[in-house]
Amino acid sequence: MDQGRPDDSRQIDDRSRTRPYGRERAVALWVLLACFLLYGGLFIYRTSMVLLGTRIFTLFDDAMISMRYARNLAQGHGLVWNIGSPPIEGYTNLLWVLYMAMVHLFPVPESKLALVVQLTGLAGLGANLLMVRKLAQRLSGGSRVAVWFAIVLTAFYLPLNNWALQGTEVSVLALITTASLYLAVCGLESGRTSIGLYGLLGIATLLRIDAALLLLAIVVFLFLADHRNRWKHAILGSITLLFFVGGQTLFRLLYYGQLLPNTYYLKLTGFPAGARVARGAKVFWDFVYRFNPVLFLLPFAGTLQRPIRTLSLLLWVFCCQCAYSIYIGGDAWEAWGGANRFICIVMPIFFVLMGITVSDAGAYLRRRVLAAKRLPQAAGQAGMVLLLALCLAQVNLIRGDPKLAGLLLLEKPMEAWGNVWAVTMGPVTQAVTTEDATIAVVWAGSLPYFSHRPAIDLLGRNDARIARGPVRISPDIRQRIGFYPGHMKWDYAYSIGELRPDVVSQLWGLPDPLPYTTLESVPPEARPYIEDNYLLVDLDGYRLLVRKDSPRILWPKVNRYIVRAGE
């Protein structure tokens, strides 16, 4: 890393080759932002559904787990998944859950509460675009090419929009990541230390505990690169880590009696670390391959060609986040393609670096090719627009083909169809059970939330005994890659045989975790606890298993729906 500040003169040179933003460019930016907000609103609408004449908005199923914790907290029952049950930390996004709890205090119907969270995500993405513009403009010296590449690719990157607009904390984390790096860049250029930088990084750890990696990555880089203020960075970073991460740990010990979140034990224990990392490397390569390796390496090549501290900082943070994704084995939804939840938050800064690299290459071509052949400037501009369009299609190359139908909202967003089933099953289950009936679930978000019933989490995200239990291998085809985060621990002898749920809505280990069609499709390891104790019920196409001797089943409503042998 640079000892002094050799990057300043180069940035001055860059600024001299571009004109400052005029009013027409500002108008173009706001038009783009308005188009993005309209696009985001349509995206959110496409995730909704109509049930019994009411339009219902819902989130990605994991986000609905956070919503259940939030509702229980808002109603005075504490940060628990099941009211009256021992506390268990089945989330890793404390501040986001607290915000969701505040949303539940609004005079908004339950069917529209998720919409408030989704609109918050949209606002976060919009603010992030403005911050991306500031960062790209500062680092590129005001290059229009760099700025527009960065904001257009960020605005219409499907994985980022999908995770953010379906209710996860990704939207705000991406904004904080971009803003933190902007403050760090300003500090490197001015030689000053920003207290606000560490405040933002601390808040990030409250939004998701593993954002502590972002804090450490930036602190380490500043300690090595900013010699004048290195000990200030070390002290401020240590204080931030101690206060925010240490404070959460103390709260967890006092409230939940655990040193780490329950999801840590669920996902990162019981499976060989080497095999987990190998799976993380494989899915990361799949992401790079679909993204296009040449395109993926562009920012690396550009940063090596211009080894400026500020550009190196962005690339360092991006690489750290990718390494973390590999270390934890990736995400459970890698089959969707594109950046996962952990990499999505640094994709905006990756697009900034990509835009700067393209801008530098374009400037070189203008000097050496267009000027030499006396081609009109419009030819170069048209080439850049075409290149941007091609890059936009290429970065959205997910699930094996450009997901243009999803990008253009011609089909429902990823996972939205599954949400239709989960949301519908809530009132269906509610209609045939009493308030204290328990439901065994695989999808632990929307169904428990909308059913208002105590639930048993078969995969252990909200069950400490399952989370600390042994890893199992499901016959599900997705498991053949060896590691499937959060979906490798279950115990039917305990969850069904011992806890005896009144309703079993799903079982894991099927080719699809959606409802079974016959008793014969029940996984063999679950049959001893199902066959003699449960009846299969078909409620107008929605199938459930109900316990034969349960006093919490409304039998007058159920008896005529029992599926007989051979049906």
- 366 and 247 share one domain: yes
- 470 and 323 share one domain: no
- 387 and 439 share one domain: no
Distance CA 298, CA 362 (A): 13
Domain boundary among 356, 388, 407: 407
What average pLDDT does this structure show over 86-110? 96
Distance CA 256, CA 244 (A): 17
- 174 and 235 share one domain: yes
In a domain, 70, yes or no: no
* Per-residue pLDDT, 4: 40
In a domain, 78, yes or no: no
- 332 and 478 share one domain: no
Distance CA 297, CA 365 (A): 19
- 247 and 327 share one domain: yes
- 366 and 391 share one domain: yes
- 399 and 426 share one domain: no
Lowest mean pLDDT among 313-317, 363-367, 487-491, 522-526: 363-367
* Per-residue pLDDT, 122: 98
Length of the chain, in residues: 567
DSSP 402-448: E-HHHHTTSSPPTTHHHHHHHHHHHHHHHHTB-TT--EEESS-SHHH
> Do 145 and 359 meet the contact criterion of CB atoms below 8 Å apart?
yes
Task: Give the relative orientation of helices 110-140 and 23-47 as an angle to the nearest 10 degrees.
Answer: 150
> Do 391 and 517 meet the contact criterion of CB atoms below 8 Å apart?
no
In a domain, 326, yes or no: yes
Q: Give the contacts of 405 (CB within 8 A, at least 6 positions apart).
A: 411
Tokens of 278: 């190998």
Domain range for 469: 416-561
- 387 and 430 share one domain: no
Apex CA 422: angle with CA 74 and CA 118, to 5°?
A: 55
> Do 84 and 97 meet the contact criterion of CB atoms below 8 Å apart?
no
Apex CA 220: angle with CA 216 and CA 224, to 5°?
A: 170
Neighbours of 404 (CB within 10 A): 14
Please give the residue that has the higher pLDDT: either 481 or 552: 552
pTM: 0.90
- 171 and 146 share one domain: yes
Domain boundary among 376, 407, 438: 407
The answer, yes or no, to whether residue 75 has pLDDT greater than 70, is yes
- 344 and 436 share one domain: no
Distance CA 322, CA 281 (A): 10
> Do 70 and 59 meet the contact criterion of CB atoms below 8 Å apart?
no
In the structure, what pLDDT confidence band is assigned to residue 564 with cuts at 50, 70 and 90? low
In a domain, 423, yes or no: yes
In a domain, 253, yes or no: yes
In a domain, 438, yes or no: yes
List, for residues 15-68, the tens digit of each pLDDT value. 434 444 466 677 888 999 999 999 999 999 999 999 888 999 999 999 999 999
Distance CA 29, CA 305 (A): 29
CA 102 to chain centre: 21
- 333 and 452 share one domain: no
Apex CA 517: angle with CA 512 and CA 523, to 5°?
A: 60
Burial of 92 (0-12, 13-18, 19+ CB in 10 A): buried
In a domain, 547, yes or no: yes
Lowest mean pLDDT among 95-109, 444-458, 518-532: 518-532
Q: What is the 3-state secondary structure (H, E, C) of 361-404?
A: HHHHHHHHHHHHHCCCHHHHHHHHHHHHHHHHHHHCEECCEECH
List, for residues 372-419, the tens digit of each pLDDT value. 555 566 656 777 888 888 888 888 877 654 456 667 777 778 777 778
Domain boundary among 407, 441, 460: 407
> Do 385 and 379 meet the contact criterion of CB atoms below 8 Å apart?
no
> Do 557 and 432 meet the contact criterion of CB atoms below 8 Å apart?
yes
Domains held by the chain: number:
2
* Per-residue pLDDT, 303: 81
* Per-residue pLDDT, 399: 63
In a domain, 566, yes or no: no
